[in-house]
Amino acid sequence: MDLKKLMSFVVLGALMVAMLAGCSAPAEEAAPAPDVVEEAEVVEEAEVVEEAEVVEEAEPYEIAVIVKITGIPWFNRLEEGVLQAAEDFGVNAYQVGPADADPAQQARIVEDMISKGVDAIAVVPNDATALEPIFQKAQDAGIIVITHESPDQVGNDYDLELIDNVEFGRHHWDMLVENMGDSGQYAIFVGGLTVPLHNLWADEGLAYAAEVYPDLELVTERIPCGEDQELSRQTTLDLLQSYPDLKGIIGFGSLGPPGAAQALIEKGLTDEVAVVGTVLPLHAAPYLLDGSMDHGILWDPKDAGYSMVWTAIQMLDGVEIVDGMDVPGVGVITLDGKVIKVDAMLDITSENAEDLGF
């Protein structure tokens, strides 16, 4: 082989080696352009900001508690429970109501809350029947409807009771008889003739008395004055004049018994006429201590306000209401159809009225 051919083979071999080396070497990854990296980081940061804004914009549940009348001790205490629940559960819960125990005024407030688009309403009805079509309107709008002191309510999701209403009504007659004897004349005060629970208690107590205390004599139909202390006082004075042998008064409505007690003090008849009924302990304490009132029976309205808000939250969260659930700080519930019951009845006497804390 001449020198020229030898040199050609050497050059050709070198070229082949170089080509093979180029094929087997790993390709170097191309670095993204600086502007592409910056754009990706901006998009990712924008997505994070947008997600945070969505979280911040989530509104807490709005729950309106609508009571029979504002500004009286009973519902002032109930409002404490509403506001406590709002704080404990992180919701926007508040209390509103009419200045007078007027069913028409209360109905307008419920209508206003529906128009406002709240998530839930909790109502202590002045007139259960009048609220039925309004409650239907609320449910049609997807608003949860809870009631209190209205166990036969139509149009609600649940009614909450902190007592056994039958036993509660009967217990008033037992306490009346314990303090006035099992015979004689007596009268009944209610908050209003359309107030559901007051009239249920009166119905149950009258039926019970007909069987157990047949010698009791009701002097007149139940009288609607139990939500106004001055009206209850004047009503008692009128009764004493019309029925000088009156021996007892049962008052449903927290201002009825204190009003009756005031009248008895004025007439010097605190030892002659027994007064029992639903009262706030601290409000009734002076009358219990001086003997112008004999016995109070109640539950804590704060527990009612708290429990209504709790019930609304369970429903808004999609939690099924079942027997045995625990309302924090209040008690274990039992479910009777649409009625949620917690056994929390209190007897209020001169011995404990100042110690119950409300």
As assigned by CATH, the class of the 165-298 domain is alpha beta
Euclidean distance between CA atoms 167 and 300, whole angstroms: 17
**Cα(96)–Cα(92) distance, integer angstroms:** 13
Residues of the chain with pLDDT > 90, as a percent, come to: 82
Residue 86 pLDDT level (bands cut at 50, 70, 90): very high
Evaluate whether 119 touches 143 at the Cβ level (below 8 Å): yes
**Token digits of residue 82:** 């509403």
Token digits of residue 234: 């004047």
pLDDT at 54: 45
Handedness of CA 146, 150, 155, 158 (dihedral sign): positive
The pair of structure tokens assigned to 315 is: 């429903």
Q: Is the pLDDT of residue 36 over 60?
A: no
Q: How confident is the model at residue 58 (pLDDT cuts 50, 70, 90)?
A: confident
Query: Rounded to 5 degrees, what angle do the CA atoms 16, 19, 24 make?
Result: 125
Region 32-57: mean pLDDT is: 48
What pLDDT, in 10s, does the model give residues 221-245?
Answer: 999 999 999 999 999 999 999 999 9
Residue keyed to tokens 């042998």? 245
pLDDT of residue 57: 62
DSSP at 294: -
Average pLDDT, the chain: 88
Average pLDDT over residues 210-222: 98
Q: What is the mean pLDDT of residues 160-184?
A: 97
More confident site: 123 or 56: 123
Average pLDDT over every residue of 199-209: 98
DSSP class of residue 126?
S
Task: Judge whether residue 13 has pLDDT over 80.
Answer: no
pLDDT at 247: 98
For the chain, the structural domain boundaries read: 62-162+301-342, 165-298
Which distant-in-sequence residues (6+ apart) come within 8 Å of 104 by Cβ? Answer: 130
Q: Does residue 323 register a pLDDT over 60? A: yes
Stretch 38-63: mean pLDDT, rounded? 59
Intrachain domains 62-162+301-342 and 165-298 with the same fold: yes
pLDDT tens, 101-143?
899 999 999 999 999 999 999 999 999 999 999 999 999 999 9
For residue 179, pLDDT beyond 70: yes
Cβ-contact 338, 321 below 8 angstroms? no
* Least confident window among 176-180, 240-244, 286-290, 328-332: 328-332
pTM for the full predicted model: 0.74
pLDDT at 148: 97
pLDDT at 26 over 50: no
SS3 323: coil
Of 74 and 146, the one with more pLDDT: 146
Q: Among candidates 296, 304, 262, which has minimal Cα distance to 280?
A: 296
pLDDT reported for residue 262: 98
Distance separating alpha carbons of residues 222 and 209, to the nearest angstrom: 15
Confidence (pLDDT) at 312: 98
- Provide the CATH number for the domain formed by 62-162+301-342 in this structure: 3.40.50.2300
What does R_g of the chain's alpha carbons equal in angstroms?
A: 36
SS3 157: coil
- Integer angstrom CA distances of residue 72 from 39, 78, 265, 281, 318: 63, 10, 22, 14, 34
